[in-house]
Amino acid sequence: MTAAEEFAPAKINLTLHVTGQRADGYHLLDSLVVFADIGDRLWLTPAAQMALDVGGRFADGVPRDNRNLVWRAAELSGQRLRIRLEKNLPHGAGIGGGSSDAAAVLRFCGAPEHAPSLGADVPVCLSPLPQRMQGIGEELAPVSVPPCHLLLVNPGVDLPTPEVFKALEQREHAGMGPLPRWPSAAEFTAWLAAQRNDLEPAACRLAPVIGAVLAQLGDAPVARMSGSGATCFGLYENADLARAAARRIAAANPGWWVQPAAMLSGALPAAG
């Protein structure tokens, strides 16, 4: 096995319906998941000993040992790797940073079967294509989605996923039902606007700043939280509108992470 660079794209839950709860406490979900052309980068080299070096804007607070999912992904795959991880995505942020990093290591090691044991969100991150995710995250089906222009906004609060699920007032919501075909972006947007993220009210109670983020994204036809938050996305008609909103929101909120992104609709961007 030779060294390689892997891209770990941001995961965005365009919808996230909570449809029930299993006896073991995990929640049943129905979610439309897409990936963005922004993400973390990993450089992976087979080595005599495991080693992990973390850099990038969001390196602070990222574990450099076997508490990190990338380390555990390599170990489960039976590989020893020297890993350099460039954290470009905020963590604990609802956009799958750690899960996508772990999936990138499993892709490199050719060991996708270990994904479920690393976390409910890791299986969906094995492929960068739009997918419908059900069960607790293990039931996956490809979906054809028109190209999306997104703006991702994170206000810098770290929201632990278990706390958000625990704060749910209701655990049995309707799922998405049969997915229609979307011949145009406008029809997709209209459908999406009628869907939900059922974790959003609970997350907003725990971190009221999320409501402020959603208000700032109010000019987008769809503005919603991703995953368990706190990152929210706006869906725009084109990249120029997303960039204009990014400039406005970043200028008014200097501490926030504000990042326009396009949806991936094919292979992962070439490493370079």
Of 261, 223, 4, residue with least CA distance to 107? 4
The amino acid at residue 233 is F
Task: State yes or no: is 219 an active-site residue.
Answer: no
Residue 224 in contact with ligand C5P, rule: CB under 6 A:
no
Binding mask 75-114 for ligand C5P (x = CB under 6 A): ----------------------------------------
Residue 256 in contact with ligand C5P, rule: CB under 6 A:
no
The DSSP result for 129-198, as a single string, is S-EEEEETTTEEEE------EEEEEE-S----HHHHHHT-S--------SPPP-SSHHHHHHHHHT--BT
Instruction: Please report, as residue ranges, which positions from 148 to 207 form the binding site for ligand C5P (by CB under 6 A).
Output: 161-162, 165
Task: State yes or no: is 11 an active-site residue.
Answer: yes
Strand pairing category for 51-55 and 81-86:
parallel
Residue 27 in contact with ligand C5P, rule: CB under 6 A:
yes
Considering the complex, state which of residue 195 and residue 216 has its C-beta at the smaller distance from ligand C5P. 195
Residue 120 in contact with ligand C5P, rule: CB under 6 A:
yes
* Window of 26-34, 72-80, 193-201, 244-252 that interacts with ligand C5P by CB under 6 A: 26-34
CA 39/CA 221 separation, integer angstroms: 24
Q: What is the CA radius of gyration of the chain?
A: 18
CA 229/CA 220 separation, integer angstroms: 18
Catalytic residue among 11, 87, 101, 198: 11
Considering the complex, state which of residue 46 and residue 175 has its C-beta at the smaller distance from ligand C5P. 175
* Window of 24-32, 86-94, 124-132, 210-218 that interacts with ligand C5P by CB under 6 A: 24-32
Considering the complex, state which of residue 46 and residue 116 has its C-beta at the smaller distance from ligand C5P. 116
CA distances to 133, 135, 191, 226, 249 from 141, rounded to whole Å, are 7, 12, 19, 19, 35
Q: What's the min distance (Å) between Cβ of 228 and ligand C5P?
A: 7
CA 226/CA 217 separation, integer angstroms: 13
User: How many residues in the shown chain lie near ligand C5P by CB under 6 A?
Assistant: 11
Contact 236, 192 (CB under 8 A): no
Residue 39 in contact with ligand C5P, rule: CB under 6 A:
no
Catalytic residue among 30, 40, 101, 121: 121
Catalytic residues: 11, 121
